[in-house]
A and B are shown apart, each in its own frame.
Chain A
Amino acid sequence: MYSEDNLLPLSALQHLLFCERQCALIHIEQQWDENVLTVEGKGMHKRSDQSQTESRGNIRLARGVWLKCLRLGLTGRADLVEFHRIDSPGEGVALANISGRWRPFPVEDKHGRPKKDLMDKVQLCGQALCLEEMLNVRIASGALFYGKTRHRLDVVFDDDLRSQTEKAARRLRQLLASGATPPAVYEKKCDSCSLYEQCRPKLLQQNNASVWLTRMIREAVV
């Protein structure tokens, strides 16, 4: 169990899975450059900045829900957690000021389109693990909503996804504890990275500034 003042941001899981160097630049170096993607993403998330709840029939919508998981040492906010009313009295959770049993169902807004890799699913699963700990309930599934395709993708929190998420949380803690930013290796995905400017992966392939300077001096001053 981690203490409350030693929690890591849930959002870092996604950065970690995208690129460990990006994750270190954001969470160790504290470098963050707004670009179009992140600004648009922010606009989309603004809605959930104020925590509020509304009811739509048998669904309660809670926005901007604070989350934490002491077991994995994670904290963050969920865009949206839906609570679906269920009939079986032994299942789900009770909610304050309202009768009945409810099944939590986390929903995360993503600006782009569905990705091949696991990072969005892992982030959502991280939210589910937080909710499970906080509400003492098992959560079977949630959903990712993709802004580009306006499409809702259901995500099942199976054993494989859970263990991937726990593995990512452990790796994240290791990386941030080391305080060291991994070296850059240029890949195609770098072109879409919001931290390209701070990272400059191509530049770092040539780690020879002193050789370069000597050459500059020799060329200029004979």
Chain B
Amino acid sequence: MKKLLNTLYVTTQGAYLCHEGESVLVNVEKETRLRLPIHALSGIVCFGQVACSQPLMGLCGERGVALTYLSERGQFLARVHGPVSGNVLLRREQYRRAENPGHAVQIARNMVIGKMMNCRTVLQRVLRDHGEKQDKETLEPVVRRLGRLTNEAEREENMEILRGLEGNAANEYFSVFNNMITAQKDYFSFQCRSRRPPLDAVNALLSFVYTLLVHDAVSALEGVGLDPQMGFLHALRPGRPSLALDLMEEFRSCLADRLVLSLINLRQIDAKGFQKTESGAVLMNDETRKTVLVSYQKRKQEDILHPFLEETVPFGLLLHIQALLLARHLRGDMDAYPPFIWR
């Protein structure tokens, strides 16, 4: 099995990254704070004022280590990658299928099914683990409707209708998201998704974790030689990693959302870690961001049984495995793309 490697998140403002031979050095005020072998890393994510030496960029490109720059708040800025590698024939097949509506919908459909089923399982788990009576009354109908939407999606041949079904499922799921918050409810309440900017702490957390997920999805796709921008479900837009967004749909609920919920419910973060700005945007402070990053990394190390592979793998490898399965399908090795179904 491929090894799950670490991602180095650098949040210290003014940090300077360089390398000495095979080691990546994190220097702060001319003092080396951290030294890591490059072969232990699959990615480096720099938040805000973090600089990297050009030789380090080169080394990252050469070794396939994804180097990403985000703003201090986690907004995507730029990515460094080496020469385009992978199989150009595979990418051409990816473009062909993406441009053929009949083919694209087959892949998009399975991704949507995966997303719907995983949202549904997240709700079912809440019901099973601590379903209060009133939650039952709210959650159970949504679980049923998500099941029906899954069945509808299964038969859908039209991409626009499929996107509509996906939107409906997301609305159903987020309509009860607040019920899954069981602690600190006075501060952490969820009404609806707000993204640019997030208008409450829950949305700020969700957006931040989704950003981490996009970063990982992009590297997973590049790792198997697919173009992260050429998507099936998400419409193309310059600069948008549509395929990475497609790929992460299956993981939003079972990886990202559950992480956010447990941070709140287990009181690992609290209201003090957030601040509302004049425009209404809610930002998290450095300490909270670090707590989220640490839990995200921990979650990625947890083992999970992959339902299609029937093999136990760390959560953090799932994106890589799904990218591999997608490449397999495009290459003609497999009759369909099997989405990740969380159980």
- Which residues of A are interface residues toward B (Cβ below 8 A)? 28-31, 33-34, 39, 179, 181, 183-184, 197-198, 200, 203-204, 207-210, 212-214, 216-217, 220-222
Contacts and interface: CB of A to CB of B under 8 A. Distances in A.
21 contacts: A29-B225, A29-B331, A30-B85, A31-B87, A31-B224, A39-B39, A179-B89, A183-B333, A197-B2, A200-B324, A204-B334, A208-B335, A209-B335, A209-B336, A212-B308, A213-B336, A214-B154, A216-B341, A217-B150, A220-B341, A220-B343
B39 A210 contact: no
B42 interface: no
Contact of A217 (B117, B325, B331, B336): B117
Contacts of A204: 328, 333-334
A11 to B, nearest CB: 17
Contacts of B336: 209-210, 213
Contacts of A31: 86-87, 224-225
Contacts of B331: 29, 181
Interface string B1-39: 110000000000000000000000000000000000001
The 10 closest A-B pairs by CB, nearest first: A210-B336, A209-B338, A209-B336, A221-B147, A197-B2, A29-B87, A179-B89, A209-B334, A216-B341, A30-B86
Contacts of B324: 198, 200
Nearest to A216: B341
B232 to A, nearest CB: 15
Contact of A221 (B2, B151, B335): B151
B247 to A, nearest CB: 16
B309 A203 contact: yes
B334 A34 contact: no
Given A30-B85, A31-B225, 9 more contacts: A28-B89, A33-B2, A204-B334, A217-B151, A220-B147, A221-B120, A221-B147, A221-B151, A222-B147
Interface string B210-244: 00000000000000110000000000000000000
Contact of B121 (A181, A203, A220): A220
Given A28-B89, A29-B87, A221-B147, A213 B333 contact: no
B47 interface: no
Contacts of A216: 117, 307, 341
A148 to B, nearest CB: 23
A214 to B, nearest CB: 8
B264 interface: no
B329 interface: yes
B94 interface: no
Given A30-B85, A30-B87, A212 B225 contact: no
A209 B1 contact: no
B110 interface: yes
B245 interface: no
Contacts of B113: 213, 217
Indicate the member of B2, B325, B334, B339 with the most A CB atoms within 10 Å: B334
A198 B331 CA distance: 13
B190 interface: no
A222 B224 CA distance: 35
B337 interface: yes
Interface string B58-76: 0000000000000000000
A207 B325 CA distance: 11
B112 to A, nearest CB: 12
Nearest to B143: A221
Contact of B339 (A28, A213, A222): A213
Nearest to A214: B154
B176 interface: no
Contacts of A183: 333
A73 B161 CA distance: 52
B117 A220 contact: yes
